[in-house]
Structure 1
Amino acid sequence: MLINEKEFKIKDLDYIIRSAVEADAEALSELRLQIDGETENLDREPGEAFIDAQGFRTLIKADSESDRNLFLVAETDGKLIGFSRCAGTELKRFRHKVEFGVCVLKGFWGYGIGKNLLQESISWADGEGIKKMTLNVMESNENAKALYEKLGFEVEGILKDDKLLSDGKYYNMIVMGRLNHVDEEISNE
């Protein structure tokens, strides 16, 4: 699915959020590799599950044509600085939901990029009648958890000792979900 481009100005940074296009593939491959090395909040070590430019082109094309997937990028001065993806499925029993994931370059944390990527994804999901959005977040990532809760996500469960980090310790992951109550509100009126 595709959305309309939106402009943001936060502090001294101007950036846009838009749908990913196939021409972004090379930059996305490099960006993902860089972000994986900047934080342990994500699932991958640098270079793991590497996606090359062709892999991103294929993913972007499929997501653009799907009514259950959304691939967004954040861009400033022609440079990609973050991206998010909502991934759904065509399986009838799970067609009502999508899973959200987000990555932002560490040098651009604090500019609302992750929040705006998520808000655009929520608007898209609600507009498409998607009933549920889910995500996973490290229990120790207080800032992300607070943001998700502020935007309507609730804790649905804890995956104990789910992630092994470079310090040799295991960390819990929190499963969070956000339900779209629009259908219920309409039927209750």
Structure 2
Amino acid sequence: MGKTDPMRAETVRLRDGRTATIRPATGEDAAALQENINAIGAEIDFILTEGVGNDVEHEKEWVRQFDGMSSVLFVSDVDGKIVGQADVHPGRPPKESHVGTLGIAIRDGYREVGLGRALMDRCLEWMRDREFRKASLEVFSTNERAIALYEKLGFVIEGVRSRQYQIRGEWVDDVLMGRWLE
């Protein structure tokens, strides 16, 4: 059986019966990505950004940096609406080029139905295909659901930056997690 292209578009069935398409982002997704991350930033305290503004041209440039070879941005859409995204960047400097750093954000109403797992699986598949050796990510200590998912995927806690963030007057630790892809 041949190798599957990690850059393919793929439809996955979510636990609640809906279907989502996971695919690489394009410049045409810029406005929808902006709307998605602005909504997520307003909904929860689990991502650093509180929004990315409304400059669609700037967002298009951001999306174009993901070339699919050294970095990638996947989106998930349900009924034509982008509801989640995940990206991978290579480590810098060259001594860290074997490490891919992951980021993921999913909109309210689409969490806890398997979409995060599907996006993470796609990112890990892409990383293996591009011969990354290690996956790395950071997560707020208060995001217990995400930490549980990452642990199910084989990630381990590699460190904690205590009181790294202050959110709504509360100190929040930054949890550093990683897993080998070999």
TM-score relative to the length of structure 1 = 0.87
CA distance in 2, matches of 1:92, 1:20: 26
Q: Within the alignment, does 1:31 sit opposite 2:36 as a pair?
A: yes
Contact 2:91 2:101 in 1 (8 A): no
Q: Within the alignment, does 1:62 sit opposite 2:65 as a pair?
A: yes
Residue 43 of structure 2 aligns to a residue in which SS?
coil
Contact 2:40 2:108 in 1 (8 A): yes
Q: Within the alignment, does 1:5 sit opposite 2:9 as a pair?
A: yes
> What is the root-mean-square deviation in Å for CA atoms of aligned residues?
1.7
Partner of 1:105: 107
Contact 1:28 1:53 in 2 (8 A): no
TM-score relative to the length of structure 2 = 0.91
Contact 1:68 1:89 in 2 (8 A): no
CA distance in 2, matches of 1:71, 1:140: 25
CA distance in 1, matches of 2:143, 2:87: 19
Q: Which ranges of structure 2 fall in alignment gaps of 5 or more residues?
A: 1-5
Mapping 1:12-27, distance limit 5 Å: 12-27=17-32
Partner AA of 2:104 in structure 1? V
CA distance in 1, matches of 2:42, 2:129: 35
Q: Which ranges of structure 1 fall in alignment gaps of 5 or more residues?
A: 182-189
Q: Percent identity?
A: 26
Partner of 2:129: 127
> How far 1:60 sits from its partner (Å)?
2.0
How many matched pairs? 177
CA distance in 1, matches of 2:20, 2:65: 25
Larger helix fraction of residues: 1
The C-alpha deviation readout for 1:6-65, integer Å capped at 9, x for no partner, is 1111222111100001110111111111110110011123x4x5473212211222212x
Mapping 1:1-189, distance limit 5 Å: 3-10=7-14, 11-45=16-50, 47=51, 50=53, 52-64=55-67, 67-89=69-91, 91-166=93-168, 168-181=169-182
